[in-house]
Amino acid sequence: MYNGIGVPTPRGTGTSGHVVKNAGAIRKRQGHLNRQNQKFASKLSSSHAGHKNIVIQRHDQLRAVEVKVAEFEEMLRSKGLKDELEIVQKCQNVRRELMNDLEEKTRNEQNEVRDKVQTNDKHPMLLEIDREREMDGGGN
């Protein structure tokens, strides 16, 4: 027995009686990052604060277009339009218009980003990181 821990005598226990410390009971320290790691972590978190992946943004935009097309189709059916071919053609026209609007909006945003790149040095770095992530598998 060591400081009240363990068995009084190891006889009959099938062990040597050697007491080892329980490393699982030791709590990790909160301040385990050294100064360089903390600087890197703060740069990383501040550079991507509120920054949404481009692939996810594009997916959300395309999904919104499809939701609007589905709502339009539902409205046509509720009005009593029976011709399936006509419904499909009208939905395709609406989808085409919405996609053109989306592409125009995307082009305008890209032009704004190009204008801001000259004034903000951090933005080109973020764009480069996003390009690398897309090449590596879509930000996973």
Domain ranges across the chain: 53-137
Which amino acid, one-letter code, is at 2? Y
Whether 49 contacts 129, CB under 8 Å: no
Taking residue 63's Cβ as centre, other Cβ atoms within 10 Å add up to 10
Neighbouring CB atoms inside 10 A of 69's CB total 20
Per-residue pLDDT of the chain (140 residues; tens, 9 = 90+): 556 677 777 777 778 778 787 777 777 665 555 666 666 666 665 555 556 778 888 899 999 999 999 999 999 999 998 899 999 999 999 999 999 999 999 888 888 877 776 655 666 667 777 777 777 765 45
pTM over 0.85: no
